[in-house]
């Protein structure tokens, strides 16, 4: 009987020890209270609690969390009511402050986000609201981060998920965008036509310039060809005249040489007066064969009888 009691006591102690042995997982922090008051924080790893005195008040995740809040009605400076929903990225940096700082911290962040968003949008007009998402996100993030420090929460980022203006505003914006697109289309078309006309004009200009340059080169080549032809013709005429002059000079030289040779032979033959007279008569006969109407007879030729006798004597000697 005593052994059974001891076994039961040991078994109870074992369960007490096991139930008070805690292993804290990664990215979590346990808040421990002792006799109802905060005692300590348990971080990653094994820990032992004091039985019946210590208890885990809250298990806190220190990973970054995302809170997606439903659309909130906001009014712009120009009295346009819109629906805007937000997404908040936050992280718990102090488990004690998060546990004891505020009741329902997510609801507190949601309400704080809604009021901050209304304050910021109330100072902006509709057009600036639609085009200033980054500015709005930055302002809300700064305000929420400062307000949640005392709750042990770090707000890393706030994003405006959707901005939904009233239906009539959407219709007006769609018409405005359609008109703007049509205007841009007309501008682009006009610019395209302008560029096309400019390109065509430049092409015609370049074509005319090239044609004029081609005509100019053709005229230059033609003039150069004519000049070269003229030079060649002049050179040919010059060569011809030189050759003719050389031929005449050679002919004259040959005649003079022949004449000089004949005179040498005549002088070598020692002609008498009868031969000279005969040659004179032959020369006179050649002169008489011409078309001249007047003939001057030399004084040396007198007496046909004497001339004939001289010829007969020469013939007899030959």
Is the pTM higher than 0.75? The answer reads: no
Q: Are residues 199 and 234 in the same domain?
A: yes
Q: Which of the two residues, 251 and 29, has the higher pLDDT score?
A: 29
Report pLDDT digits (tens) over 203-230: 888 888 988 888 888 888 888 888 888 8
Cβ-based neighbours of 67, under 8 Å, separated by 6 or more? 87, 88, 90, 106, 109, 110
**Same domain assignment for residues 92 and 135:** yes
Predicted confidence (pLDDT) per residue in 268-317, tens digit: 665 556 555 556 555 555 555 555 555 555 555 555 445 545 544 544 55
Please report whether residue 173 resides in a domain: no
Q: Provide the pLDDT for residue 248.
A: 82
Do 264 and 316 share a structural domain?
no
Average pLDDT over residues 32-40: 90
Does residue 103 form part of some domain?
A: yes
69 and 56 fall within a common domain: no
First vs last C-alpha separation in the chain = 206
Alpha carbons 289 and 265: distance in angstroms, whole number: 27
Question: How far is residue 64's CA from residue 73's CA, in Å, rounded to a whole number?
Answer: 27
CB crowding 112-145: b at 16 or more within 10 Å, else e? bbbebbeebbeebebeebeebeeebbebbbebbb
- Note whether residue 102 is domain-resident: yes
The mean pLDDT value of the chain amounts to 82
* CA–CA separation, 242 and 84 (whole Å): 112
Same domain assignment for residues 24 and 44: yes
> Do residues 249 and 222 both lie within one domain?
yes
Contact (CB, 8 A) for 36 and 17: no
Same domain, 229 and 161: no
- The residue segments making up the domain with residue 219 are 185-268
Domain assignment present for residue 4? The answer is no
Residue 305: the pLDDT is 43
Domain co-membership, 258 together with 277: no
pLDDT at 246: 85
**pLDDT value at residue 304:** 44
pLDDT value, residue 144: 93
Q: What pLDDT was estimated at residue 182?
A: 86
Residues 160, 95 within the same domain:
yes
> In this predicted structure, what is the pLDDT of residue 279?
62
Token duo for residue 92: 């718990």
pLDDT, tens only, 75-134 = 888 888 889 999 999 999 999 999 998 888 999 999 999 999 999 998 888 888 888 888
Q: Count the domains in the chain.
A: 4
pLDDT surpasses 70 at 29: yes
One domain for residues 233 and 277: no
Could you tell me how many residues make up the chain? 318
Same domain, 94 and 147: yes
pLDDT at 308: 47
Q: Is the pLDDT of residue 170 over 80?
A: no
Contact criterion met (CB below 8 Å) for 149 and 84: no
């Amino acid at each position: 009987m005593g052994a059974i009691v001891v076994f039961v006591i040991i078994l109870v102690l074992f369960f007490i020890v096991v139930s008070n042995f805690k292993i804290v997982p990664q990215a979590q922090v346990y808040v421990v209270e002792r006799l109802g008051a905060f005692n300590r924080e348990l971080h990653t790893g094994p820990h032992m609690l004091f039985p019946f005195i210590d208890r885990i008040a809250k298990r806190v995740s220190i990973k970054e969390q995302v809170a997606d809040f439903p659309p909130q009605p906001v009014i712009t400076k120009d009295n346009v009511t819109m629906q805007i929903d937000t997404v908040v990225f936050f992280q718990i940096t102090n488990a004690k402050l998060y546990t004891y700082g505020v009741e329902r911290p997510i609801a507190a962040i949601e309400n704080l986000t809604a009021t901050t968003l209304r304050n910021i949008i109330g100072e902006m007009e509709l057009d600036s609201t639609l085009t200033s998402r980054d500015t709005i996100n930055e302002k809300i993030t700064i305000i929420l981060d400062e307000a949640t420090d005392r709750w042990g929460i770090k707000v890393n980022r706030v994003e405006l998920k959707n901005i939904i203006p009233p239906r009539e505003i959407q219709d007006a914006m769609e018409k405005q965008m359609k008109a703007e697109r049509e205007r841009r289309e007309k501008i682009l078309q006009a610019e395209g036509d302008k560029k096309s006309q400019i390109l065509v004009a430049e092409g015609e200009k370049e074509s005319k310039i090239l044609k004029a340059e081609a005509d100019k080169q053709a005229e230059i080549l033609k003039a150069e060809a004519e000049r070269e032809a003229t030079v060649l013709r002049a050179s040919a005429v010059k060569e011809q005249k030189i050759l003719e002059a050389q031929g005449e000079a050679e002919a004259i030289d040959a005649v003079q040489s022949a004449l000089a040779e004949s005179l040498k032979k005549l002088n070598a033959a020692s002609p008498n007066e009868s031969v000279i007279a005969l040659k004179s008569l032959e020369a006179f006969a050649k002169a008489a064969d011409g078309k001249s109407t007047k003939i001057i007879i030399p004084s040396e030729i007198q007496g046909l009888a004497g001339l004939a006798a001289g010829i007969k004597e020469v013939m007899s000697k030959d």
